[in-house]
Structure 1
Amino acid sequence: MQDDQAKVNDAKLPDACSGVGDAPKVRLNTKKLLKGHINKVNSVHYSGDSRHAVTGSLDGKLIIWDTWTGNKIQVIPLRSSWVMSVAYAPSGNFVACGGMDNMCTVYDVNSRDASGAAKMTRELLGYEGFLSSCRFVDDNTLVTGSGDMKLCVWDLEAGIKKQEFEAHNGDVVSISLSPDKSCYVTGSVDRTCKLWDLRQPNCKQVFYGHQGDVNSVCFHPSGYSFATGSEDKSARLFDIRSDQEVAKYTPPGTPPSFTSCGLSLSGRFLLCASDDNNVHIWDTLKLQHNGVLAGHENRITSLCVAPSGLGVTTCSWDQNVRVWG
């Protein structure tokens, strides 16, 4: 199949972009060092306002941060400390999390329970494996992926599954929604990425190329392509219209494995968090390594670019969260 795709390639991305000027050097510094977790921080996600972010840690806490001031807005204690994924609703009204407890829990950040913490509104059960990823479409719709190889789409108001289907031949580990929220892409330990339509539970396209677990997927702001970060020590760009990989990114020296990826608002820069404690940056068009963000002292587990494009937040096994700008 990949041979057939290669036959219809009429140009390579760097050749097609040879007339484009080199991108400027990315100069991001740590604007805020967010301290508060007392164990490995596994996941971070921005609210739609590009100001607030939620992090989940193995200390059994979700923390909602004001990334502009560095202040903690809320600390939400969890029933299970084994949190693997967090998600912030675009509206900023809800956060969700899940992990080794095999469920997804949703909290309303605007209302409090008797203890003063954010009120739990839903516990979404029925997984046969750990919850690896979750993303809000809106306040009433949540997409989840899990270690049982399935995808579920939830109606949060009714608390029911709208869709459930076998998605991959291995754990689903990452979900990214398209800019118009009509479809989403998933990455899996089966080394493939798949494109799905939210309106109907069928796989539209399958993308091959990676030789290891696809740890992270991120939709391009144009909606026509997506980036990936993988255990095979490469990041890649896949084009949906041409149905294939169009670029492969590896850093100079001994390449690390990549845990999480994000794209700048223009899509010109790809940022990949890695297990060498750094964030690697590339010019997506010319495939040039643009530099690293250094500061974390252990494996970076998750990276999220603010919807406005004006900030990047990373979290790490060093127990810290960094806001770059």
Structure 2
Amino acid sequence: MSHETELKLSLTPAFVDALLHHPLLQQAEDQGSKTLFNTYFDTPDLALQRNRVALRIRRAGEQYLQTLKTQGHSLGGLHQRGEWEYPLAGPVLDLSLLPEGAWPVSLEQCLEKLTPAFTTDFVRHQWRLHWRDSDIELVLDQGKVLAGERTQVISEVEMELKQGQVADLFSLAEQLAQDLPLYVCDISKGERGYCLFLQQEPRDQAVPQLESDASHEQVYEQLFGYYLNGWQRHWEIYASTGLSRHLELVRSHIRSLIDVILSFAAVIPTPDKTVAQQLSLLEARLSGMLAFRTIQGLTGLEHSPLLKQERLNSREAWQQLVDEPWVGALLLQLSAWLVLKQWRLHADAEQQAQQAASFIGS
């Protein structure tokens, strides 16, 4: 088994050419492109999905690869998980290749029922580069998720840490995000495939359960991560569905994130003033896009011509906002702040003591 650590980002297809010609990639080792066809398997009652396990066969040319991925851990767009990969002679699963203990015990009786559930087919362009003290593989994936007649566009950038420091993944992403609208991506291709297959939206993240002996820092991390990930997820869902309630949830999570930063300011150093200003600006622009929702809620006249037009105007304003690199860069900066615990670099001795102290006992 290997453990992969990667940062997932989404990129609007209109900016792909700008990425391909970006100076950083011009200096990287271009390893070419290949078309990948991926079939994901599950039982009729989706036992693998319930256990947060993904099983697929990938075809690249005449080569086949069987991959099992565990749930792992995702925070701030950084995905860390275990995976088992084995070459196959053809497009048929061979579960005998998987080592004992790879499957959750609850799945062992379901393996004979596995059938194809959905596919993800895309062209992958791959680069290798040395950034700071790390060896990083960067890929651009362009294609589609397919489940029956339903499809969804894939336009993603993934950065996998081959050797080095997680901080360098964020540093590289932030450098690219100065010029390109790159967005931290929390919803995997597999999760998107299940959503298409089931014709439903991605599941909500679990509400954090705070331990009674949690420290100030632990509570801060959980709340900060909850609202940041919620912002990321609902931003992605709105991008694919256009449902305004998800844009309202983005605004709500941003407001709550600001509240967390301000509430803990005496104990946890705050990000720089530029971050606070950008969060407030972003919240204000989203509020402008959502003004029609207030009238809609009061009148119940969802199909009013005026409100229909305002909904279209809102979507256009959001698309303009998406194309502005500072928004994605802000998300990346906050994700790095959380994942790397960057507040520790700015805390004095008194704050360090307070961070370690019990939240409830103070």
TM-score, structure 2 length as denominator? Answer: 0.24
Larger Rg: 2
Decide which structure has greater strand share: 1
Decide which structure has greater helix share: 2
Higher RCO (C-alpha under 8 Å, 6+ residues apart): 2
TM-score, structure 1 length as denominator? Answer: 0.26
